[in-house]
Structure 1
Amino acid sequence: MKLKGIVKKYFSNQGYGFIDDNSDRKIFFHCSQVDNLENIGEGAWVEFEIKKDSKGRWEAKNILTLPHDKGANGTYQKSKALPKGVPEPDKQHYFPKDTQQIIDPCDIDNYYLKLNKAAASFQNKDSRKFSFVMLDRKKPPFQVTPVFKNIDFSGLCQRQKSAIADAGFDFIQMRFEPDWRLIVGLGQHSIFETSICLHHIYGFPYIPASALKGLVRNWIITRVFAQVEGNGEKGALSDRGFCKIFGSPKNSIYGNYQGEVCFFDALPIVEPKIVFDVMTPHYGPYYSNGEPPADYYSPNPIDFLAVENTAFIVTVGIKKEDDKPLQTGVFSEKTPMQVVEQWMTECLAEHGAGAKTAVGYGVGELNQV
């Protein structure tokens, strides 16, 4: 099996050196195994086979030098585009050793897997840091480039629609297009400081059904039962219509009850565009130590990823026999689907979905398709 790496040490007068393959192995090589000695030197990129010698030490065999830039002074310069699979000297993937021997991180095309399971850290002064982008902020290229060109988004949306219909649901589909950017899953567990919600199979950003249901449910509680009725969650769980739509726990008027309206994951209609964004909290001591907020505190830039210029298909369904006008409560004479469509449209237009909605993220129009 062929591996790729970079020559870290080369003693030309003695004819041997060591290769770094992005693991903690010390791989020895002899110049007799190199295809072209003119192209070998510290910083050269190579492809090789690896074996253990009689003493159990790693040794590179059948070494092929890869294309690279060699300066006028004979030293090797970092190329703008690294050959596929070759790690940068300051870049390290935290893969298990045996996995690294089987899988090249550069060959992973699923954005979810590449970002969450094969992320690389970068050397920053005396420490290493996980970052969505290279550490040069003047022109931040993605550490892991989001590419979804091989995914048929139209086909996936059609498959979802067919599956919902086959399950016996009456449903409506609406197009949600944020006015600007959208960020869902900002606080999920991640090796980065922030995260983004990605489909665990296909790797693209989406809005989970649970997020949509929780969003609409909370919006109704806030706008109807807290402001109009004045009793918030307690009032909502005392309303039969609300419980029929969203379900309810044991202490509600219905007791344990499964909601009749089913929310489905909102999938992107076209290839989503992921952009690099930064937030700069200024009042760290205020949040962490309770000190008074002041403008002389240093800002703390935090990287995160957002979705931009991307429309989603939002689907809500109900069994046909359940979509009847509600008899009692604040939603009487309206069907569950009418209630959900009305309040979801208002919620996304006035409040927005996901994180950072207070500064305009996730706000947009919802229209039937």
Structure 2
Amino acid sequence: MSTCTAIKEVQEVLGKNLSSVDSASLRLRKLLFLGDNSRGDEINAVCKCINDKTVQRRWSSNWALPSGVEAGGKSILLRLEGRLVIHLAGGILENAGMCIHPHFNCPFIPGSGVKCIARHAAWAKWDETKSVEDALKVAWTFGCPTGDAMPKKEKDRTRKEEEYLDNFLEKQRPEWFGENGKYKTFAGSVAFLPAFPVEGDFKAVADIITCHHPDYYGGRKEMATDDESPNPQFIPAIEEGSLFRFVVRPLGRMAGEVPSSETVMKWAEQFLVEGMTLYGAGAKTAAGYGWFSEDKEAAAKQKAEEEARAQKAEAERLAQEQAAAEAARLATLSPVDREKALVEKMTDEEFAALCKQLGEKSDEIKLAVVAVFKTSKKEKWKTWKRRKPDLASEIIKALGAFGKELS
């Protein structure tokens, strides 16, 4: 018999089988049924919460990277080529967790995980070349210590001393990474942000991992034999084909010896793409899970959108500058000249509407209208007097004493 983790009062509010819970995070981590036959049903219930189109639309319409997150940074789009299984140990159901955002109800890859995968790709490149250049790329991009230090106990060491990256850097650049080096403890130059699906482009599914030899792996048998009963385990996964956005941005910690922000950002992007396409994210990567590919079509579309946004932002900036300059210029003019400048900017329709309401306007506006009729709109006034004599008479009457100059 299954047992609900929610108290009776909560169950009454949320309905039978917790049907009113639309938060996948709560459904997986707090509110579920535990029992021998409930695991698969619970995983399916979580997937249903994640895939709810109403929640997805709310998520995709409300969620955006905070303003300025991508300023100076780089957004990278990668397509999931195999199911993604990540953070399995994060739920109440043993080894059946998933990284689900508690507010936006969507799966995501933590920034710490993204950084580790990218750093592994950078380390693998150094491990292949053993060059100072590649070692420094790891340190400047991800920081020091690099995570590859030689164990203190000799029995735990599996490589030569110089084959551990921290020791390699210490020997090659002692003034920077030695015992008293300037960058002995350095946090790196790039921030790796959590990766989210693009515009709700994701689908959660219930997957199965089957242990064919539970007695052998559990230590109850010395040999794995074919007479054991398979033990299928349900786990949540993200279906392949989902498009994820990865974001990296400079941290602004550049010092004299550290390469430029642009250079380090290029390294970070390169290592991130290599890490996700060569090593993958999450569990079961050896079985084809968690692998990504570059989506050139989506990247081209994103580049075009970014350029359009940049052009729009530049146009808005120029418009604001021009408006500020015009406001400053108008502030230096006399009241009549200021009104004249505003009248001259009016469209024909706006100017005609103003002339029909001159009797209600201030003396400054009336004088401004007289001035434009004698200068920039001189021909219009002649035309109105000839073709619209009634309107011209009304204008002169509304102008009062100021209209004598137009008679």
TM-score range, shorter chain: 0.5 to 0.7
Task: Indicate the residue corresponding to 1:356 in structure 2.
Answer: 284
Q: Distance in 2 between matches of 1:314 and 1:267?
A: 7
User: By how many angstroms is 1:341 displaced?
Assistant: 1.4
**AA partner of residue 312 (structure 1):** F
Equivalent-residue separation in structure 2 for 1:175 and 1:324 (angstroms): 32
Query: 1:261 Cα shift?
Result: 0.4
Q: Choose from 33, 52, 73 the match for 1:171.
A: 73
Confirm or deny that 1:99 pairs with 2:10: yes
Deviations along 1:68-105, whole A, 9 cap, x unmatched? xxxxxxxxxxxxxxxxxxxxxx6542212443455443
Q: Report the CA distance shift for 1:359/1:132 in structure 2 as closer, same or farther (over 3 A).
A: same
Write the deviation string for residues 117-144 of structure 1: whole angstroms up to 9, x where unpaired: 111235xxxxx4541327xxxxx96476
Q: Is the 8 A contact 2:250 2:261 kept in 1?
A: no
Out of 119, 132, 141, the residue aligned to residue 245 of structure 1 is 141
TM-score norm. by structure 2 comes to: 0.55
Matches within 5 A, 1:318-337: 318-319=250-251, 322=254, 335-337=263-265
Residue of 88, 106, 114 corresponding to 2:27: 114
Give 3-state SS (helix, strand or coil) of 2:89's partner. Answer: coil
3-state SS of 1:133 partner? helix
Deviation track 1:341-362 (CA, whole Å, cap 9, x = no partner) reads 1122122222211111111111
1:132 aligns with 2:40: yes
1:262-321 deviations in Å (ceiling 9; x for gaps):
111111113321111111122334433283344443322111111113211111111467
Q: What is aligned with 2:385? A: none
Of 311, 317, 324, the residue aligned with 2:243 is: 311
The one-letter amino acid paired with 2:86 is V
How many Å apart are 1:216 and its aligned residue?
A: 0.9
* Alpha-carbon distance in 1 for matches of 2:262, 2:122: 15
User: For residue 211 of structure 2, what is the amino acid of its counterpart?
Assistant: P
Distance (whole Å) between structure 2 residues aligned to residue 333 and residue 198 of structure 1: 32
Letter in 2 for 1:99: V
Structure 1, unpaired ranges of 5+: 1-89, 123-127, 135-139
Name the amino acid aligned to 1:121.
L
- Shift in Å, 1:201: 2.0
The number of residue pairs the alignment matches comes to 256
Instruction: Indicate which of 209, 219, 231 corresponds to 1:279.
Output: 209
Alignment CA distance shift 1:364-1:99 (3 Å): same
Is contact 1:324-1:336 (8 Å) kept?
no
TM-score scaled by length of structure 1 = 0.60
C-alpha change, 1:292 and 1:219, in structure 2 (3 Å) is farther
1:306–1:242 distance in 2 versus 1, CA, 3 Å? same
Residue identity opposite 2:125 in structure 1: V
**Structure 2 counterparts to residues 39-58 of structure 1, below 5 A:** none
Letter of the 2:39 counterpart: S
Unaligned segments of structure 2, at least 5 residues: 150-165, 167-176, 178-182, 303-407
Greater shift after overlay, 318-327 or 359-368? Answer: 318-327
Structure 2 letter corresponding to 1:281: C
Which residue is equivalent to 1:32? none
1:211 and 2:135 matched: no
Of stretches 238-247 and 348-357 in structure 1, the one that deviates more from structure 2 is 238-247
> 1:229 aligned to 130, 155, 158, which one?
130
Q: Does 1:180 align with 2:82?
A: yes
Residue in 1 that maps onto 2:194: 265
CA distance in 2 between counterparts of 1:257 and 1:293 reads: 48
Deviations 1:39-82 (A, max 9, x none): xxxxxxxxxxxxxxxxxxxxxxxxxxxxxxxxxxxxxxxxxxxx
| DSSP-derived class of the 1:305 partner | strand
CA distance in 2, matches of 1:164, 1:217: 21
SS at match of 1:365: strand
Contact 1:216 1:344 in 2 (8 A): yes
What are the equivalent positions in structure 2 for 1:128-167 lying under 5 Å apart?
128-133=36-41, 142=45, 145-146=48-49, 147-151=52-56, 152-155=58-61, 159-160=64-65, 162-165=67-70
Shift of 1:154: 4.0
When residues 325 and 173 of structure 1 are mapped into structure 2, their CA distance, relative to the original with a 3 A threshold, is: farther
Q: Does 1:199 align with 2:122?
A: no
User: Whole-Å Cα distance in 1 between the matches of residues 101 and 6 of structure 2?
Assistant: 21
Please identify which structure carries the higher strand content. 1
Greater relative contact order (Cα 8 A, min sep 6): structure 1 or 2?
2
The residue aligned with 1:345 is 273
Partner SS, residue 275 of structure 2: helix
Partner Cα distance (1:210, 1:154) in 2: 23
Once residues 108 and 199 of structure 2 are traced to their aligned partners in structure 1, the CA distance between those partners, rounded to angstroms, is 11
**Cα distance change, pair 206–148 in 1 and its aligned pair in 2 (3 A):** farther
